[in-house]
Each structure stands twice: as C-alpha cells, then as structure tokens.
Amino acid sequence: MFDRSTHHDAGGPFEPDTILATQFFGRLRSSERSGERRLMVAVLEEGVLTYLKYAHITDPKGRALFEEAKAWIESSDNDLMAFETLCHAVGLEPDYIRRGLRARARPPERATAAARIEVVEQRRRASGE
C-alpha cells in the first residue's frame, strides 16, 4: 500500500523528477573526454536552452529564435549536427527529449492539466482499470 505520509506534497510516486537543463547538460559534460563530444553536448545544450527560454515569448525576435530551435529539434535529419545525430552520439533518446520539451513548451495552465491527466492515466493502468 502507498504511504502518503512520506510524500509531503511532492506529487506522489508518479510525478517525474525535475531537473534543470543546466544540471542535465552539466552531467553530460562532466564525463567528456574528447573535444568533439564536448562540442556535441554544447550544440545540444544551446538548442534546448533556446527552445526553453523562448517557448513562451511573444516578441517577433524571440518567436523566431524559438521557431528555429523547434524546427531543429523536431527535424528528423541525419546530418552531422542534426538533433537526432547529436542525441544518439551522446547516448540520449531524441524522441524522449522531444516529448519532454513539448510538455515544457505548453502554456503553464495546459501543462499542469496534462500532467494531472497523465498521473490519473498512470494510476488507472497501475490498478488494472
């Protein structure tokens, strides 16, 4: 049985852990040995941080930066510096990263509702409903 007393408003066991992009990429960078790999991580980090920073910006310059980062992230190109290529090279699953970024790019009220729906669906699956 689930003991709620140990999860003080933490969202329960079905809530994803929250990690900042800088913490995530810092972990990738910490194990770097080659200059090429450091460059790949830096390009991924810049694209992801640009996407997150400008996701909710309405001014034309900010929207253009967001749209450019979004197009790069959503692309299925296999070029040398394409999102998918870089993800695979550093051991990340591109579709998983995309899903997380899309969830973060939703307006806050919609993201919260989507997270609640996800938790309810996970609980139903876990209970066999």
pLDDT, position 118: 72
- Angle of CA points 84, 88, 94, to nearest 5°: 50
Alpha-carbon span 22 to 6, nearest angstrom: 29
Residue-wise pLDDT for 29-61, tens only, equals 555 467 888 889 899 999 999 999 999 999 999
Contacting residues for 25 by C-beta, under 8 A, at least 6 apart = 41, 44, 45, 48
The rounded distance, in Å, linking the Cα atoms of 64 and 68 is 6
* Three-state secondary-structure class, residue 72: helix
Domain span at 77 = 33-127
Residue 55 lies in a domain: yes
In a domain, 21, yes or no: no
Counting the structural domains of the chain, the total is 1
User: What confidence score (pLDDT) does residue 116 get?
Assistant: 67
Q: Is residue 100 in some structural domain? A: yes
62-81 tens-digit pLDDT:
999 999 999 999 999 889 99
